[in-house]
Chains A and B, each alone.
Chain A
C-alpha cells in the first residue's frame, strides 16, 4: 500500500476536472494543498487497509489458490494441482447438498420469524411506552451475549433426558422430544437460538427507520380513518422497504455463513452436525472438511462456493428491489 505521491500527474488524474479552469499557478497550489491534506487522510486509513490486505485480501486469494489443489494440512508440500476438481467433486457430493439444504431450511426457519417478530416489536416500541429505554436495551441484550454461551445454554435446554424444555413438555402431558437427533427438531432448535439472538438487533434497526417516518403521514392516515393496523400496513411498511431489504440481505448472509450455533449445539465438539449430519450447515461442512478431515483444498472450494452463493443471493435481492422500485415509478 502506498501513500499518495506528490506527483502532479497522479493528482491531476485523480482530481475531478474543475469546471472553470483557474490560472495555472493557483491551480497547482490548490492541488498541492489538497494533496498535503489528503496524504494524512490516506495515512489514517492505511492501518485499516493494511489489516484488510493481511487478514482479508490475502486469505481470500490464497483460499482461491488452495481450492485448486488436493492438499492436506499435515502435508502442505505434497499439494497436487487438480484444477476445478474440488468444485466438481463438491457439486456431486451428497454431503454438500445435504448441508446446502440444511442451510436453506435453517435460514428460512430463522430469518422469517426473526424479521417478522422484529418488525412487530419495533412497531410496539415506537409507541410512547413507560420504560421504553429499558425495553430497548433489554432487546439488545441477546445480541451482546456471546454465541458460545448462548448456544451452550440452549443446547442444555433442548437436552433429551435432562433438558428443561422436555421437562416442561412432559409436565403438560406431551412426550419428550429428541431435539438433537431429529432433522426438523434439531433445525428448529438451532433456528430458535438464531432468532433469539438477532431479533432485538433487527428490531432496533427497524425502530430507527420508523422514527424517521414523518408524522404527517400518520396524521393524514388517521384523518382518513385508517386503523392502527392499516397504518402499519400502508404507511409503516412501505416507508421501511429499503430497511427491510437491508435486514433481509444481512440476515441472509448470516444464514449462509451459520456456523457457531450448529457447531456447539452437539455439546461434545463434533463438527459433523449431528450423527446423520441432520443439522450440518455449509459453514460447518467447511470446518469439518478443513479442521476435522484436514482436507484444505476441499474446504477452500466449499468456502468459495459459499461466497459465490452469497453473491448470487444478494444479486437477486438487488434485482428484485430495482424491479419493484421501477414498477412503483
Chain B
C-alpha cells in the first residue's frame, strides 16, 4: 500500500458519498407552473390509446399526465397494498379493480378522497348504475372512487365451428336455446356428439367460463350481505359449481387456464367454440384470434341471465400534492361523454347508465363479431344486473374454485375437488 492515509480517507469518503447518492433518487417539481399528475393503473385502461390524455392536456395546457401501468392486476394490487401500508409511493390517481375494491373500502378508505363530500356529488354520482357506486362506498357513506368501465357479460361463439357441427348460428335462436345453463350444456353435448365438428376443438375454453359467469347470477356469490365469505353455502356457488362441474366432467371444455399462454394460442388456432365474454374481452379476443378470424366470432346473450365480470374505479389519493387537479381529471375521465368515447374507441362498456343509454353505445355493432349488436346486448345485461355482495377475498376464492374445476376436467371427482377448493380458500380467509 503506497497511498497516503489522508488520500485514502478522502477516497473512502467519496466512495461512501457516491453510494449514498446512488441510493436516494431525487423528486423534482416543475418550475414552469405546469402540474404533473401521475396515474397508477393496471391492465389496459386504454385512456391513452383512446386519446383522452392528449385531449385533456390540450384543454388544460398547465397539466401534464403520466401513466404507469402494470400488466397484471394481481401484481398491481400487491404493489398498491404495500404502498398503502407504508403510506408512501402512491400516485396522485390510483386505479382500483372490482377484485380488491372491497379490501380498499374496508381498510384504506381514509387514504382516498371522498367523492360524496364534493360539492357536485349528486352530479358526479347520479349518472351511474346503482351497482357501480355501492361497491366503492364505505359503511359511513364515503365514496372512494369514480367508476370507469363495467363488465356486463355475454356469450361469444364461433359461427364457423357451430355451423360445421350443425348447431344453430342465429343469435336470437341461441339466446332462447341457452336461456339457462342447462340449455347451454345441452348444446355442448350436441356439439361434442357431432360427427362433423372440427377435430380437436372443444365446446368451451375452460370450466371457468361457466363458473365465473354463473356464480354472479345467484342471490349471493362468494359473500353474505355483510361481505363475509360463505363459499360453502352460497346458492350462487352451489349452482355455478354444478353446471361447471358437468361441463368439466363430461369433457366439454378445452380445460385451458384463462390468460395462460396456451389459452392465448388457442384463440388463434380456433380450438374452442364458446367463451363467456365481458365487454372488455372482445378487444382481447380480436387481438389474440387475429384478422383472419374476423367474421368467425359472434356474440349472443349470456345463459342464465345478466352477469358482470370486472370493472374499475379511479381514486384520488388523499395525500396527493395536486389533490384538486387530480380530482378534476378523474371527474373528467369518468364523465359520460368520455365513457362513451371509451366504448367507441376501446370497447370498454360504460358503468354510467347515462352513457350506456346513449345511442352511440346502445346501437353500436361490432364488425369483427359478425356485426353483432354488442351495444344492445351489453346494455341489456347491464340494465338487468343484480349486483351480489362483494368481499375482500373474491379473487382468491374464485381462483380456488376455477382451479379445482380444472382438476375435475382432469378426472378428479367433483366432490373431492370442491373440498380441495374449500381447503384452499381457508388458507386465505383463515378458517
Contacts and interface: CB of A to CB of B under 8 A. Distances in A.
Contacts of A294: 81
A211 interface: no
A167 B403 CA distance: 26
Interface in B203-220: none
A44 B75 CA distance: 38
Contacts of B404: 275
B427 A293 contact: yes
Which 9 A-B pairs give the minimum distances between C-beta atoms?
A268-B260, A275-B403, A275-B406, A267-B261, A74-B107, A293-B428, A267-B260, A162-B265, A43-B12
A74 B75 contact: no
A137 interface: no
A73 B399 contact: no
Contact of B265 (A46, A161, A276): A161
A245 B190 CA distance: 62
A95 to B, nearest CB: 6
25 contacts: A36-B5, A40-B8, A40-B12, A43-B9, A47-B19, A74-B103, A74-B108, A76-B85, A95-B427, A155-B261, A159-B265, A160-B262, A161-B266, A161-B271, A162-B265, A178-B410, A267-B261, A268-B259, A268-B260, A269-B259, A272-B399, A275-B257, A276-B407, A276-B412, A289-B427
Contact of B16 (A47, A155, A178, A266): A47
A84 interface: no
Interface string A84-120: 0000000000110000000000000000000000000
A253 B420 CA distance: 31
B60 interface: no
A292 B262 contact: no
Contacts of B250: none
A63 interface: no
B340 to A, nearest CB: 32
Given A46-B16, A293-B428, A276 B403 contact: yes
Contacts of A267: 257, 260-262
Nearest to B74: A269
B71 to A, nearest CB: 9
B165 interface: no
Interface in B86-115: 103, 106-108
A87 to B, nearest CB: 16
Nearest to B265: A162
Interface in B387-431: 392, 396, 399, 403-404, 406-407, 410, 412, 420, 423-424, 427-428, 430
Most chain A CB within a 10 A radius of its CB, from B106, B108, B404, B407: B407
A224 B59 CA distance: 92
A173 to B, nearest CB: 18
A243 interface: no
Contacts of A46: 16
Contact of A276 (B84, B258, B259, B420): B420
Nearest to B259: A268
Interface residues of A, number: 37
A44 B399 contact: no
A107 B332 CA distance: 55
B81 A275 contact: no
Nearest to B104: A74
B196 interface: no
A58 interface: no
Contacts of A40: 5, 8-9, 12
Contacts of A291: 78
B85 A73 contact: yes
Interface in A259-278: 266-270, 272, 275-276
Residues of B in contact with A, size category: 35 or more
A328 interface: no
A266 B260 contact: yes
B117 interface: no
Main secondary structure of the interface of B (DSSP, over half): helix
A278 to B, nearest CB: 9
B68 interface: no
Contacts of B176: none
A75 interface: yes
Q: Which of B16, B72, B85, B271 gathers most chain A CB within 10 Å?
A: B85
Interface in A269-301: 269-270, 272, 275-276, 288-289, 291-295
Interface string B244-276: 000000000000011111110110010100000
B384 interface: no
Contacts of A231: none
B354 to A, nearest CB: 33
A185 interface: no
A257 interface: no
Contacts of A156: 261
Nearest to A156: B261
A181 interface: yes
Given A40-B5, A76-B85, A159 B261 contact: yes
Given A47-B15, A94-B423, A270 B399 contact: yes
Contact of A161 (B74, B262, B424): B262
Given A159-B261, A272-B399, A275-B404, 16 more contacts: A40-B5, A40-B9, A47-B19, A74-B103, A159-B265, A161-B265, A178-B410, A268-B260, A270-B399, A275-B403, A275-B406, A276-B407, A276-B412, A292-B396, A292-B428, A295-B427
Interface string B1-32: 00001001100100110010000000000000
Contacts of A160: 262
B82 interface: yes
B101 to A, nearest CB: 12
A70 B430 CA distance: 10
A74 B261 contact: no
Nearest to A272: B403
A66 to B, nearest CB: 12
B257 to A, nearest CB: 6
B406 to A, nearest CB: 4
B218 to A, nearest CB: 24
Contacts of B403: 270, 272, 275-276
B75 A269 contact: yes
A292 B429 CA distance: 12
A266 B257 contact: yes
B296 to A, nearest CB: 19
Interface in B258-317: 258-263, 265-266, 269, 271
